Each structure stands twice: as C-alpha cells, then as structure tokens.
Amino acid sequence: MDAGQILGRGISFPPRLGADGRWAWSEGEQTIREAIRVILLTEFRERVMLPEFGGNLNRYLFAPNTVTTRHAIADRVDKALATWEPRLRVEEIEVEPVPDDPEAAVVTVVYRLIATQVRERVNLTVTFAG
C-alpha cells in the first residue's frame, strides 16, 4: 500500500498547475504538510459552512512579539491541529523569534503520522505588524 492510499491525496496547496497543464496533486506526507498550512493559515469564519475551522493566527498580527504572545501562538497551533488534523499527533511546538526580524517568529511543529509512525516537521512564519 502506498503513502497516498494511507495518508490521502488531494489538490495541492496552494493550488497550481502541473507541467502537463492540469491541476497538480499531492499525496502522502506532502498532503499532510499542506493540510497543516491550510488549517493554520485559515481564519475563523473564513469558511462559511465551517466558521470555527482554522488556526486563526492573524489574531496575533498586532500583538507584540513577546514570549507571552509566542506561547499563545503555540497553544493555538496545538488546539487547531488536535481539532482538525486526526492523521497526526503533535509532539512538539516551538515558536521562536527570527533573530534579524523583530516582527516575525517561526513556528516549528514536530508531529508523528499515526498511520505510519513517521516523524515529520513543518515550519511556518508568523508576521507581526509591530
């Protein structure tokens, strides 16, 4: 059984055309990484039929880039992934400031795929407006 059958397949995110001019598809571990980004970058009420879906990380746009804010972001990421992505278990979340950019932080999520027990990692940058 291949990873696509175990972990799923779907249109790639962001949606794009492949070299053949058709919609590009992703499968396996790539599908999970893309799903994590979709969850975390979606704001509450953005999806009309599922208003509670998403990570709602833009709520921190005007927050200060402090330890307290970064802890709140980590908590929000943990809750969103626990709610919306049943194919994985989060093992660690780090939210660290970017040394040369005081208005940004990098979220690193380390997770284990339930079906295969493979350990993966994804990074996402959160920007603060100051």
Alpha helices in the chain (DSSP H): 3-7, 29-41, 67-84
Q: CATH number of the domain at 72, please.
A: 3.10.450.40
Query: Which pTM was predicted?
Result: 0.87
Q: Is the pLDDT of residue 48 over 90?
A: yes
Average pLDDT, stretch 116-124?
A: 96
In whole angstroms, give the CA distance from residue 9 to residue 29.
10
Q: Which domain, by its residues, includes 56?
A: 3-127
What is the bridge-based pairing of β-strands 25-27 and 119-127?
Answer: unpaired
CA distances from 116 to 83, 119, 120 (A): 20, 9, 11
Other CB atoms within 10 Å distance of the CB of residue 80: 20
Q: Is the pLDDT of residue 1 over 60?
A: no
Total domain count, the chain: 1
Q: Give me 8's structure tokens.
A: 């799923």
The vertex-95 CA angle with 128 and 27, nearest 5°, equals 100
Average pLDDT, stretch 81-102?
A: 96
